Structure formats: C-alpha cells, structure tokens
A = this chain, B = another copy of it.
C-alpha cells in the first residue's frame, strides 16, 4: 500500500520544530523554547562572546547519502573548531536548515540525533534558528557562540619572526578521507585504512579542549580548514611575516603514511580541523604540557621568519613546489 513516489512523511514546519529541535533547546532558558522571535544570550562581566558561522551544502561539503547524524555532527564540529582556534569555550548554537520537500522526517530524526550526541559531548545547546524549504540541495548554516575572558582570545595576527609553527593531531586525513569516502582509495589501501580515513572526513575532531588551554601560549592561531599551506599563509598575511613548513615534520596518521604520492593532498587538501598556531621556542614546554593535558598530540612543523609568503621544504631543505594552496569556493 506504500507508494514509493509519495511525498515522505512530514510533521510540518512547526511540528518538526516541536518534535526534533525544541528538545535540543530544553537546557537553555534563553532559547525560550524556540517559540519566540529571537533568543536571549547573557554574557558574564569580564567575558566576551565569540561568534562564528559555517555553512555546509550537500554535494559540496558532504556527500549525497552521508548519514544524517554524521552530517549534523560535522556541521557542529567545523564551527566548534573555529571557536577553539580563538581559544574560546563553546556555549550554544543557532541552526538554519534548508531542506528539499523530498527530505522526510526520518532524515531529520537522524540529523537531530547527531546534534543531541554532540551537544552532550561538547556541552552545548541549541539556542534558535530557522527551518525553510528549498528546491535545491540540503543547505545548512550553523552560528556557534562561545565565550572567552576579555583579552584571552588568540587571533591570527600575532605571529612573529622566530616563532615555531605548531599543529595538533594529524594532517591530511580529511582530504584523503574524501577520496576514501568516494571509493577512490579502494585497492590502494587496506579496507581498514580506507574506513579510518573516510571516518576522519565525515567526523572532524575539533580541539575544543586544547584551544582554550593555548590562551597565553599561542601568539597566533587558526584551524586548518582550507589546507595547511594556505592557512599558514593566512596567518602570515595578517601577521606580516613569512612561514616555513618542513614537509617531513608534518604529522600523518598511519593510514595516510601508507599512501604513496600523498604530499600535495596532505599539504593543501584541507578539512583537517586541527589547530595551527605559532609561539616562541621558550613556550614549547608549556605547550606540550597543555597538549598532554588535553590528550591531543602537538607537533612542531616549521618556523616564522621575516618576509612574506609560505615556503615548503623537503627533507633536504629544498623548496617544494605545490600546484594548489587550498580549497577555494569560486
């Protein structure tokens, strides 16, 4: 009796808000039960709010058919990564979903379950948002709010000649993971490696705990989303300095290390959501202690010099030429 071409089950706009989203906002009085025109957000004296926005479009930032709970968690996490890169602690978020009418309640139920999972993991709450329909692909926008003590934020513009360049975790798994998720590494790597990398693409690990611990230690910080070389270029541009990356020091996962011809993708592929930061050498010990406290490995991959631009050096100190320097949307 079911018609596969029938319109999928839908509770309607307000029914969906009540069923799927209102429970996610229950812990935040300022969300006003998602039944008002806007949310109320307080900020304690001596702190400031840190606000970031990231959008994801199906077919551009995630794959058609990706599990909705992982799509939700990736959306949350790419934003939390931005807050961590300012040394801020996350508080809550606003969400816009633009969904095709063909997307039924079941998809949204999975999406909301992913949000709930990451709300618990990162201690955040839904504060508000908007739900609209679109004739195009699923389009999602998340505005994340964090807080930081006034002056404790870490910006991009503080890198100075003599600083070391640090990065958290491993680099390249996100971009290689996209290849893995698309089946391009089948037969090139073991299935376990393919699965590891695909998971790294679908579920970033924002360094939400490490970021705030680097306040007062890192001089400049950002998260690696567009590609390591291009993103260090952003720090260097804003700081008015030059960067050097020693390619052999860039930390790789075991799976990535087993892949041949990976250097360009690792250095420019993006989607890493690791913290990239600079600090004078005398702070290295304190930084490593912070990293240990957050249970996140941190590696020195280069240095800051006078000048401009970013150079990548191979193990013999020769400059490596790269074709691309990071993801561009247009």
Contact = CB atoms under 8 A, between A and B. Distances in A.
A135 interface: yes
A271 interface: no
B133 A136 contact: no
Interface in A31-86: 32-33, 35-43, 45, 48-57, 59-61, 82-83, 85-86
A107 interface: no
Interface stretch (A109-117, A123-131, A260-268): A123-131
A253 interface: no
Nearest to A46: B45
A308 interface: no
A101 interface: yes
Nearest to A234: B35
Interface string A123-157: 00001111111111101010111101010010111
Contacts of A52: 37-39, 128
Contacts of A247: none
Contact of A94 (B12, B48, B143): B143
Interface residues of A, number: 75
Contacts of A55: 96, 98, 130, 132, 141
A8 to B, nearest CB: 10
Given A36-B222, A49-B49, A130 B54 contact: yes
A272 interface: no
Nearest to A85: B37
Nearest to A35: B238
B139 A329 contact: no
A186 interface: no
B37 A51 contact: no
A37 B153 CA distance: 11
B137 A83 contact: no
A128 B222 contact: no
A137 B138 CA distance: 11
A48 B41 contact: yes
A295 to B, nearest CB: 22
A45 B42 CA distance: 10
A238 B32 CA distance: 10
A232 to B, nearest CB: 14
Interface of A: 10-14, 16, 30, 32-33, 35-43, 45, 48-57, 59-61, 82-83, 85-86, 88, 94-96, 98-99, 101, 127-137, 139, 141, 143-146, 148, 150, 153, 155-157, 221-223, 234, 237-238, 328-330
